[in-house]
Chains A and B, each alone.
Chain A
């Protein structure tokens, strides 16, 4: 593990100290929801409250994307009647919300996390499995082997 890590460091010459992963929270079923527990590695970097707020907003956005209600039924019925060909032309509600989420994460990174040397990765790039938080180190410290 350490070997791979250092190989990657050499490859990128990036100052990535470590990556923290926030896993999914399946207590509410299969809906997309991430744990809001504050990871200990971020203790020194960011405010606990702030982080939990970010995660909560993220969870709310995903809940909105997956919400089963009048609008989604309408979309579903319309799609069914057109033999789902409507998906080829129209952007689904989920995709619209995903764009919103991408914007939100970018905004959070710019405002809060980047100044602290952190970077949140959009979960969709990790298959909605985890929220990857990259912790950057100072460039003066290199972890070569």
Chain B
């Protein structure tokens, strides 16, 4: 935090030499001058993502519980192959390990694809684009002190859809796009941010995610069935189930019994939760909905409007399924491995001059994000903190209209929108994830407010949002949150 304040008080200190001295602005240049080092676009990516293999692999900044997911799958499958397969091959059929192996391969591949691919991130608007949009917004109205609400209405399939303006990405979000606060990106057809997979689930990787959960539910059900069969067969041969588990130590040492029990327990709980999740997502696919829309109740008429039907649905289950799962694979819009163009790098310099030097895997954070990171790291004990506390200044010196604190509210708002999902047995995993967010958001939003108040560089003074976790509805909580804080200016 000290870092953050110091840098804000003394903005001149920000114009530090960039890590790459060859990226200095060249007034006389204009055309291709030889650079000592060309950057790839992933290295200057503004979102909170991590890149590996020179930009081929993209993940969220926090890997969440992905290692746990991988660990559980590996352990359970490993135990299955080691303990159950030999017995079952002997007593049943050799196809058991074959099917198990095939399912495991499907699970592993789809998990890796979900975690490592671009979910459909929308690149942020270039400064000129943002300026153009600002011009259009300004010209369209509002002479009042309060800035216009920044929504655009569009008629899709005879349904009015409101397009919101994203303050971080400086553009009007396309329909079904949402800004993920964890990754700090707008994601197309945003479903949810899945901590189990360590990435957002959006347009491009939804089909991988769906394949993953469906194959995982088959795998866990299969393993559960096999273990149960194994025990049942053993029990048949002996004197009951307990005997099967308590056979003579020579044949069944304690560890083996323990591991079998572990396998059973993992499978039992996984089967119900994952099957439930698969069922839920099958429903979403069949009605062409996203988790985000379902939770917010955008099309179910919860917000009181009549005749709200999903305008994106084809009104046929088969067509919906086909379009979601078998539709054309959209390309990645962020072009991670492209080289940063001369023009783009000059624009990047304009951005860099406002902030301190970017780390290699870049995150242009606002200070509040930095403090949120601090809190997140306190809970996760993973990220280094002080370096991430970067000063708050708008990305584009031209656009000083919105308060720099807005993006943090977006994050807070995002957290809010996750906190009040209706408890539903089928959505256990996401509920778990929501509860996780709830505790974080409470702490982070109150602490954020405190930090802002203590910081003289801010013009905005905030009152801590009261009980963010107890907001009755989160449909539009983001928008309301933003408008509330705008009013406080």
For the complex, what is the distance from the CA of A95 to the CA of B207, rounded to whole Å? 18
For the complex, what is the distance from the CA of A66 to the CA of B323, rounded to whole Å? 10
Q: Which of A84, A128, A129 contacts B113 (CB 8 A)?
A: A84
Interface residues of B in 91-140 (CB under 8 A from A): 105-106, 109-110, 113, 122-123, 125-129, 131-135
Whether B174 pairs with A4 at a CB distance below 8 angstroms is no
Given A4-B127, A67-B328, the answer on whether A29 and B27 have CB atoms closer than 8 Å is no
Q: Which residues of A contact B123 (CB under 8 A)?
A: 126-127, 129
Q: What's the least CB distance linking A89 to chain B, in Å?
A: 13
Whether A79 pairs with B329 at a CB distance below 8 angstroms is yes
Q: What's the least CB distance linking B114 to chain A, in Å?
A: 10
User: Is A93 part of the contact surface with B, judged by Cβ < 8 Å?
Assistant: yes
Interface residues of A in 63-77 (CB under 8 A from B): 65-68, 72-73, 75-77
Q: Which residues of B contact A27 (CB under 8 A)?
A: 154-156
Given A11-B27, A29-B175, the answer on whether A127 and B333 have CB atoms closer than 8 Å is yes
User: Is A1 part of the contact surface with B, judged by Cβ < 8 Å?
Assistant: yes
Given A7-B350, A28-B156, the answer on whether A87 and B174 have CB atoms closer than 8 Å is no
Query: Can you list, as one digit per residue, whether each of B337-366 has a CB less than 8 Å from chain A (1) or not (0)?
Result: 000000100110010000000000000000
Whether A72 pairs with B110 at a CB distance below 8 angstroms is no
Q: Which of B129, B156, B176, B347 contacts A129 (CB 8 A)?
A: B129
User: Is B163 part of the contact surface with A, judged by Cβ < 8 Å?
Assistant: yes
Q: Which residues of B contact A12 (CB under 8 A)?
A: 29-30, 343, 346
Using CB atoms, name the residue of chain A closest to B330: A94
For the complex, what is the distance from the CA of A124 to the CA of B41, rounded to whole Å? 14
User: Is A116 part of the contact surface with B, judged by Cβ < 8 Å?
Assistant: no
Q: Which residues of A contact B312 (CB under 8 A)?
A: 29-30
Given A4-B396, A68-B328, A84-B113, the answer on whether A26 and B156 have CB atoms closer than 8 Å is yes
Q: What's the least CB distance linking B98 to chain A, in Å?
A: 16
Q: Which residues of A contact B62 (CB under 8 A)?
A: none
User: Is B208 part of the contact surface with A, judged by Cβ < 8 Å?
Assistant: yes
Whether A11 pairs with B330 at a CB distance below 8 angstroms is no
Q: Which residues of B contact A85 (CB under 8 A)?
A: 109
Q: Which residues of A contact B216 (CB under 8 A)?
A: none
User: Is B486 part of the contact surface with A, judged by Cβ < 8 Å?
Assistant: no
Given A80-B211, A98-B331, the answer on whether A30 and B189 have CB atoms closer than 8 Å is yes
Whether B174 pairs with A92 at a CB distance below 8 angstroms is no
For the complex, what is the distance from the CA of A101 to the CA of B25, rounded to whole Å? 33
Whether A80 pairs with B331 at a CB distance below 8 angstroms is no
Whether B157 pairs with A29 at a CB distance below 8 angstroms is yes
Q: Which residues of A contact B343 (CB under 8 A)?
A: 12
Q: Which of B27, B319, B327, B397 contacts A4 (CB 8 A)?
A: B397
Q: Which residues of B contact A26 (CB under 8 A)?
A: 154, 156, 161, 163, 174-175
For the complex, what is the distance from the CA of A93 to the CA of B247, rounded to whole Å? 59
User: Is A138 part of the contact surface with B, judged by Cβ < 8 Å?
Assistant: no
Given A30-B176, A129-B171, the answer on whether A73 and B322 have CB atoms closer than 8 Å is yes
User: Is B28 part of the contact surface with A, judged by Cβ < 8 Å?
Assistant: yes
Whether A30 pairs with B208 at a CB distance below 8 angstroms is no
Q: Which of A10, A11, A75 contacts B328 (CB 8 A)?
A: A75
User: Is B82 part of the contact surface with A, judged by Cβ < 8 Å?
Assistant: no
Q: Which residues of B contact A80 (CB under 8 A)?
A: 207, 211, 325-326
Q: Which residues of A contact B335 (CB under 8 A)?
A: 125
Q: Which of B211, B329, B398 contacts A83 (CB 8 A)?
A: B211
User: Is A58 part of the contact surface with B, judged by Cβ < 8 Å?
Assistant: no
Interface residues of A in 25-46 (CB under 8 A from B): 26-30
Given A65-B328, A127-B122, A129-B122, the answer on whether A84 and B396 have CB atoms closer than 8 Å is no
Q: Which residues of B contact A10 (CB under 8 A)?
A: 27
Q: Which residues of B contact A14 (CB under 8 A)?
A: 30
User: Is A130 part of the contact surface with B, judged by Cβ < 8 Å?
Assistant: yes
Q: What's the least CB distance linking B160 to chain A, in Å?
A: 11
User: Is A106 part of the contact surface with B, judged by Cβ < 8 Å?
Assistant: no
Of listed A66, A125, A132, residue having the most chain B CB within 10 A: A125
Q: What's the least CB distance linking A81 to chain B, in Å?
A: 10
Whether A94 pairs with B331 at a CB distance below 8 angstroms is yes
Q: What's the least CB distance linking A77 to chain B, in Å?
A: 6
Interface residues of A in 112-137 (CB under 8 A from B): 124-130, 132
The 10 closest A-B pairs by CB, nearest first: A76-B326, A13-B30, A127-B123, A1-B398, A83-B109, A127-B333, A4-B398, A26-B154, A92-B329, A1-B131
Known interface pairs A83-B106, A83-B211, A126-B123; 10 further A-B residue pairs with C-beta atoms within 8 A, sorted by A's residue number: A3-B398, A12-B30, A26-B154, A65-B328, A67-B328, A68-B323, A84-B109, A85-B109, A94-B329, A94-B331
Residues of A with Cβ closer than 8 Å to B?
A: 1, 3-5, 7-8, 10-14, 19, 21, 24, 26-30, 65-68, 72-73, 75-77, 79-80, 83-85, 87, 92-95, 98, 124-130, 132
Residues of B with Cβ closer than 8 Å to A?
A: 25-30, 105-106, 109-110, 113, 122-123, 125-129, 131-135, 154-157, 161, 163, 171, 174-176, 188-189, 207-208, 211, 311-312, 319, 322-323, 325-331, 333-335, 343, 346-347, 350, 396-399
What are some 24 contacts across the A-B interface (CB < 8 A)? Answer: A4-B350, A7-B350, A8-B347, A12-B29, A12-B343, A13-B27, A13-B30, A24-B174, A26-B161, A26-B174, A27-B154, A30-B174, A30-B312, A68-B322, A76-B325, A76-B326, A80-B326, A83-B106, A83-B109, A84-B113, A87-B329, A126-B126, A128-B333, A129-B171
